[in-house]
């Protein structure tokens, strides 16, 4: 396996378009992360009151912060390992995630609706609490991001497709049980993410080809 991965990196390095696209994708992703943290900060500082919700108003609050945080870290770890093992997938994946983050940040800045009221507080420290439990409500990134992964692997890798799809459904359930997101944040995430994925296909067809080339040649 080690030699196979080395061969993939060698093959990627000799691909001129990969050498052009990968650094741009990494730089854009880093920029998107800064924008994301700024958008969360703005939304949290200007959050208004919470509102009633068709589901949240009818179920108790469950303490899911541990599952929410550690589950997220697990999905991120699997995603990073998968990309590092298949370098040609990196440009398309990062472009898709970057576009997702920019669009979600824009939605976050458009409205300052306060988060649902909860019966407990996260004890993960200020950094994680601000990142995971801010007032960036619309739309649910924890629901949408795994769904984006499922779409990327749809018809390409069945195991990864189901891993990301089930992760998306899992997080959709968790954020509702924990009153972390409103119902509209969760439901809309699937539709908006589907649109983001197809915009990414339109904007980055050559990166998608690299993604598929890596899948078919190794």
Q: How far apart are CA 104 and CA 100, in angstroms?
A: 6
- What's the confidence (pLDDT) of residue 212? 93
- Give the separation between CA 76 and CA 2, rounded to whole angstroms: 22
* Listed residue (191, 154, 195, 197) closest to 172, CA to CA: 191
What residues make up the domain containing 76? Answer: 2-217
Q: Which pairs from 62-65 meet CB under 8 Å and 24+ separation?
A: 62/177, 62/178, 63/120, 63/178, 64/174, 64/177, 64/178, 64/180, 65/120, 65/122, 65/123, 65/124, 65/132, 65/133, 65/178
Which regions in the chain score pLDDT beneath 70? Answer: 118-136, 215-218
**Among 132, 143, 135, 142, CA closest to 187:** 143
Cα torsion through 39, 40, 44, 45, rounded to 10: -40
The pLDDT score that the predictor gives to residue 134 is 61
Residue 161 tokens, joined? 């497709």
Residue 147 and residue 186 in contact, taking contact as beta carbons nearer than 8 Å? no
The confidence score (pLDDT) of residue 218 equals: 45
- Counting the structural domains of the chain, the total is 1
**What gap in Å lies between CA 190 and CA 162, rounded to an integer?**
15
Question: Residue 110: what pLDDT?
Answer: 87
pLDDT of residue 22: 94
């Amino acid at each position: 396996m080690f030699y196979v991965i080395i061969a993939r990196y060698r093959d990627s390095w000799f691909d001129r378009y990969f050498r052009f696209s990968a650094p741009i994708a990494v730089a854009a992703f880093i920029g998107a992360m800064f924008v994301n943290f700024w958008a969360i900060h703005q939304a949290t500082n200007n959050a208004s009151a919470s509102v009633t919700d068709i589901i949240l108003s009818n179920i108790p609050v469950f303490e899911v912060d541990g599952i929410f945080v550690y589950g997220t870290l697990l999905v991120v770890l699997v995603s990073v390992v998968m990309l590092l093992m298949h370098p040609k997938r990196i440009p398309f994946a990062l472009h898709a995630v970057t576009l997702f983050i920019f669009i979600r940040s824009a939605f976050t800045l458009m409205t300052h609706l306060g988060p649902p009221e909860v019966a407990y507080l996260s004890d993960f420290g200020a950094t994680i609490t601000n990142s995971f439990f801010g007032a960036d409500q619309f739309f649910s990134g924890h629901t949408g991001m795994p769904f984006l992964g499922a779409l990327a692997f749809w018809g390409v890798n069945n195991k990864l497709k189901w891993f990301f799809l089930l992760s998306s459904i899992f997080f959709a359930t968790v954020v509702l049980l924990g009153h972390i997101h409103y119902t509209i944040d969760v439901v809309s995430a699937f539709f908006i993410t589907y649109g983001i994925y197809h915009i990414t296909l339109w904007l980055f067809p050559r990166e998608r080809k690299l993604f598929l080339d890596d899948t078919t040649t190794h």
